Amino acid sequence: MPLLILVMHILRLKNWDVIRSNLHKNIMQISVTQLSKTFSRKKQQTVAYKNLNFQIRQGEFFCILGPSGCGKTSLLRTIAGLETATSGELSIRSTDSLKQGTVGMVFQEHGLFPWMTTRNNIRFLLENNVQMINRDLDAIVNEFIDLVGLKAFADYFPHQLSGGMRQRISIARSFANEPDILLMDEPFVFLDYQTRCALHGLLLDIWQRKKKTLVFVTHDIEEAVFLADRVLVMSAHPGTVKNIIEIKLPRPREFLALRKLPAYQNQVSELMALLREECEPFRHKDKQSF
């Protein structure tokens, strides 16, 4: 009897909302087990990535960092369903049901349809989204155009806009669809430094508001440290998981303030050292062959 009272006390004391949200946080949205991919072309086989094992938590900002050719884009395309893995298991969970999760993707560039205006580029995808039936699409389109600050450019065609503006539309488009998971394949790689910094801020802002799981592929160490909760470092040839590093920097993050922190610099140095190891073998190989 005293035991029962004790249990009831505990139940009353505990804030169940907090418990539930904590449980929520630890739900694994993406699980990757022994995932491998080999491209075969005319007897020649190229290993894109091999025996990958990792998990991505719900609501997490997860960066995949690696040198070019390490298979990170292939991995992202596999998660997006654009490519299929050769072996291993990939499970993508929906946020609030047991169904397979939906994904949205932002590409490096030219992902917008050139024959559609800003408004129609966003609206077209919403019209085809089964989740959006019975929703006021115009209101959603306007909300997201506002969110990325392109109200004045709603009826422009992509070629009339700058590269930075186009990527803002791509981001708006992907968030507007409310997928469970957002995938971004080096979305800022072709932008100049200032624009990139501005878009990092914008992306973090939207991500914090919309609370989506975000998988971000990059080869830029500082970009990864600034944005991510965790960084998966990939090794090249074949692509494998080298390490997964937790970025313990406070949020909200502000670039100028953050880069003064020793913790930030340590993280960058740590990742730099890891990636340098990846580039070393090349030098040796080159020396041997010459």
Partner 1 sequence: MFKNRYFWLFASPLGILLLWEACTRSGFLDARFFPAPSAVFHYLIFTSPGEGLWTDVSASLYRIFWGYLAGCAGGIALGVTMGLNHIVRIMVYPLVALLYPIPKIAVLPLIMLVFGIGEMSKIVVVAIGSFFLVLINTLHGVDSVAKIYHDVAQVYRIKKTSFVLRVILPGALPAIFTGLKLAIGYSLVIVVAAEFSGADAGIGYLIWQSWETFSIKAMYAGIFVIGVLGLFFSLALNLLERRLTPWRDK
Strands of 61-65's sheet in order across? 103-106, 181-185, 213-218, 61-65, 230-235, 240-246
Q: How far apart are CA 134 and CA 280, in angstroms?
A: 56
Contact range with partner 1 by CB under 8 A, out of 1-9, 30-38, 48-56, 154-162: 154-162
If you ran DSSP here, which 8-state letter would residue 100 be given? B
Q: Report, in Å, the least distance between residue 45 CB and partner 1.
A: 23
Contact range with partner 1 by CB under 8 A, out of 20-28, 47-55, 122-130, 243-251: 122-130
Q: Is 157 in the site for partner 1 (CB under 8 A)?
A: yes
If you ran DSSP here, which 8-state letter would residue 93 be given? B
Enclosing H/E stretch for 87: strand 87-92
By beta-carbon proximity to partner 1, the closer residue of 71 and 104 is 104
By beta-carbon proximity to partner 1, the closer residue of 54 and 107 is 107
Q: Is 137 in the site for partner 1 (CB under 8 A)?
A: no
By beta-carbon proximity to partner 1, the closer residue of 36 and 174 is 174
Beta carbons of 107 and 73 less than 8 angstroms apart: no
164 to 203: interface string for partner 1, x by CB under 8 A: -------------x--------------------------
- What does 144-181 look like in DSSP terms, one character per residue? HHHHTT-GGGTT--GGGS-HHHHHHHHHHHHHHT--SE
Contact range with partner 1 by CB under 8 A, out of 15-23, 33-41, 127-135, 224-232: 127-135
42 to 81: interface string for partner 1, x by CB under 8 A: --------------------------------------xx
Q: How far apart are CA 108 and CA 112, in angstroms?
A: 11
Interacting positions 80-109 with partner 1 (CB under 8 A) = 80-82, 103-105, 107
Beta carbons of 271 and 240 less than 8 angstroms apart: no
Q: Report, in Å, the least distance between residue 66 CB and partner 1.
A: 21
Q: How far apart are CA 168 and CA 205, in angstroms?
A: 13
Q: Report, in Å, the least distance between residue 107 CB and partner 1.
A: 6
The answer to whether the Cα torsion of 258, 188, 76, 128 is positive or negative is positive
- Choose, by CB under 8 A, the member of 9, 110, 135, 276 that binds partner 1: 110
By beta-carbon proximity to partner 1, the closer residue of 28 and 125 is 125
Task: Show the CA angle centred on residue 222, arms to residues 217 and 227, nearest 5°.
Answer: 60
Q: Is 125 in the site for partner 1 (CB under 8 A)?
A: yes
Q: How far apart are CA 274 and CA 290, in angstroms?
A: 26
Interacting positions 14-43 with partner 1 (CB under 8 A) = none
- Choose, by CB under 8 A, the member of 38, 53, 129, 208 that binds partner 1: 129
Q: Report, in Å, the least distance between residue 39 CB and partner 1.
A: 16
Enclosing H/E stretch for 189: none
Residues binding partner 1: what is the number (CB under 8 A)? 24
Tokens matching residue 191: 């932008």
Residues found near partner 1 in the complex (CB under 8 A): 80-82, 103-105, 107, 110-111, 113-116, 124-125, 127-130, 157-160, 177
